[in-house]
Structure 1
Amino acid sequence: MNFSATMILAFGMSMDAFAASISKGAVLHKPRFREAFRTGLIFGVVEAITPLIGWGIGLLASQYVMEWDHWIAFTLLFVLGARMIYEGLKGREDDAPAIRRHGFWLLVTTAVATSLDAMAVGVGLAFLQVNILHTALAIGFATMLMATVGMMIGRFIGPLLGKRAEILGGLVLIGIGCLILSEHLSGAA
């Protein structure tokens, strides 16, 4: 696979993380670049690891991974999105502190949910003559960049949306989950 194809693959794989990070940035109260970079780093590391896992699985369990990855991603994103919608509808008391940082495990869970398709790509890459380490690093770097930018975009969208940002963010995560599910189900038909 040449450099151009690798970069197209890398940025294509980062789009789910980009959309999710916009919603994460919109929910936070004026996230700083440091928090955006932290989120990008978590998303990038997870996104770089998943194709390596898929590569390792290779032929052994490729049927199993491809049969279930979309259901796992859909379920995780749906639960996370529903939680965000619930929190947005519930609102917060006026004296409650503004959310300035997402928890590590919440970000890891969201990153895993948006990167399960990269594991399936890793399985596919096992059959091609590619340097999996270079490809995984490219995917991870593109995702880190896109998730960091997404958080900063969310910073500006959040104040415009106010309390609806969390509801909209939840809907975006559920939408990504539904898109992943429909792409796999329509591809299976």
Structure 2
Amino acid sequence: MSPVAIAVLAVSMSVDAFAAALGRGAVAERARLGDAMRAGLVFGTVEAITPVIGWAAGVAAAGLVAAVDHWIAFALLGLVGGRMVLEAVRRPEGAAPGGRSGWMLLATAVGTSLDAMAVGVSLAFVNADIWVIAAAIGAATFLMATGGVLVGRLLGARVGRIAEALGGVALMILGGVILVEHLTA
């Protein structure tokens, strides 16, 4: 994958954490830097681990599906992206995803990272460097979630819906690019 594709993927995987962090910030009495960084660290760590788990599962199955791997990557990225767009559209305007406790933070981080696991599976089929991509996703998520908590107090959760929808569209486009690259190679 090119550096641009990795950056698009990292940002796309981070927008649901950004949306959740906006919600956390919107309901916080005061958005402190320490709290924001803690949320960013939890979201970033979980978001970096889950694509590696998905990638490992994909590598185990890669030999069985080598002839159609690009179609699988296209379908998975399309489904994940479509789900992100659908959830962004269905969430009531101003709704703040997630709660304020530490357990709720972890549960929200795991919930927002499940799409990264599915993307990890598709990355195994295209021989992507999972370590670089996982680090990029983790770093982008840390930055976006930390910023999301801080900005959330000012803007509220409405902006999170737009960011999540745009991230979903970017994933669908990335799936299309992978398909076209493999069909024209």
TM range (shorter): 0.5 to 0.7
Q: What corresponds to 2:5 in structure 1? A: 5
TM superposition outliers: structure 1 runs of 4+ over 6 Å: none
Q: What corresponds to 2:145 in structure 1? A: 147
**1:108 Cα shift?**
1.1
Q: What corresponds to 2:38 in structure 1? A: 38
Q: Report the residue type matching 2:39 in the other structure.
A: T
Aligned positions, number: 146
1:115 matched to 2:103? no
Q: How far apart are the structure 2 equivalents of 1:61 and 1:3? A: 26
Task: Please give the secondary structure, in 2, of the residue aligned with 1:102.
Answer: coil
Q: What corresponds to 1:58 in structure 2? A: 58
Q: Report the residue type matching 2:147 in the other structure.
A: V
Q: What corresponds to 1:24 in structure 2? A: 24
Q: How far apart are the structure 1 equivalents of 2:45 and 2:110? A: 10
Give the unaligned 5+ runs of structure 2.
63-71, 173-185
Q: How far apart are the structure 1 equivalents of 2:49 and 2:108? A: 14
Task: Please give the secondary structure, in 2, of the residue aligned with 1:56.
Answer: helix
* Seq. identity, %: 47
Q: How far apart are the structure 2 equivalents of 1:61 and 1:114? A: 24
Name whichever of 102-111 and 141-150 sits farther off: 102-111
TM (norm. structure 2) is 0.64
Q: What corresponds to 2:102 in structure 1? A: 104
**1:61 Cα shift?**
6.7
1:25-69 CA-partner distances (Å, limit 9, x unpaired): 010101101101110110000100010000111155799xx6xx9
TM (norm. structure 1) is 0.63
Q: How far apart are the structure 1 equivalents of 2:54 and 2:144? A: 22
| CA RMSD in angstroms, aligned pairs only | 3.5
Q: Report the residue type matching 2:10 in the other structure.
A: A
Task: Please give the secondary structure, in 2, of the residue aligned with 1:48.
Answer: helix
Give the unaligned 5+ runs of structure 1.
86-100, 159-164, 185-189
Q: How far apart are the structure 1 equivalents of 2:60 and 2:126? A: 16
